[in-house]
Amino acid sequence: MSRIGKLSIKLDDKVKASVANGAVNFDGPKGKLSVKLPSTEITVEVKGNVLDVKRPSDSRRHRAFHGLTRAILANAAKGVGSGWEKALAIRGVGFKAEVKGTQIHFALGYSHPVVFDLPAGVTAEVAKTPRTEDQLPTVDLTLRAADRQVLGETAVRIRALRPPEPYKGKGIKLHTETVRRKEGKTGTA
């Protein structure tokens, strides 16, 4: 058995799941998600508020899809129940972010402002962190969504607007990311 695939998915009280036409539909307080099953051979059973993922045989292909399917369904169930969150840090003098509706307006040291359109289902929140003497000013950007994949892709696309540079640490980075700092050139005096 797959160590991941054999685990049952326990749904929150407010989350409902149903299986239809090769897809599992989730409905909860944070939204609705429909997850298409990656393989038609993998079956999903709904018993009350528990989901079980089953595979027909122990072939290598079925074992691989068993764990994958269970992980994708568990992410969707958690997303519609409590939601997913990803935090980014924007560091640099004059670097700013402002949320206006479904857009984020960035000032990232370029000669022009950068406008980023948020995908459907993703919300953003901006908070400024107090500056200490030895740090660059930091702005915290928090993204929230029910779909974990869309949230991750959005965070990576925002990070790509101004990746962190290793000398001063300026740029946009994920909070879980560590930027390896380099020492600058030294004078020849």
**In tens digits, what is the pLDDT along the chain, a chain of 189 residues?**
568 888 899 999 999 999 988 899 999 999 999 999 887 788 999 998 899 999 888 888 888 888 899 999 999 999 999 999 999 999 888 889 999 999 999 999 999 999 999 999 999 999 877 766 667 778 899 999 999 999 999 999 999 999 999 988 899 999 888 889 888 887 665
- Do 46 and 90 share a structural domain? no
Looking at the domain assignment, is residue 185 inside a domain? no
pTM, rounded to two decimals? 0.86
Euclidean distance between CA atoms 172 and 2, whole angstroms: 38
DSSP state of 37: -
Q: Which residues contact 37 (CB under 8 A, 6 or more apart)?
A: 22, 23, 24, 44, 69
Q: Structural domain of residue 145, as residue ranges?
A: 84-174
Looking at the domain assignment, is residue 13 inside a domain? yes
The answer to whether 17 and 51 are in contact (CB under 8 A) is yes
Phi-psi region of 15 (alpha: psi -120 to 50; beta: other; left: phi over 0): beta
The answer to whether 80 and 10 are in contact (CB under 8 A) is no
- Do 152 and 91 share a structural domain? yes
- Do 167 and 94 share a structural domain? yes
Identify the CATH number of the domain in which residue 110 sits: 3.90.930.12
Looking at the domain assignment, is residue 187 inside a domain? no
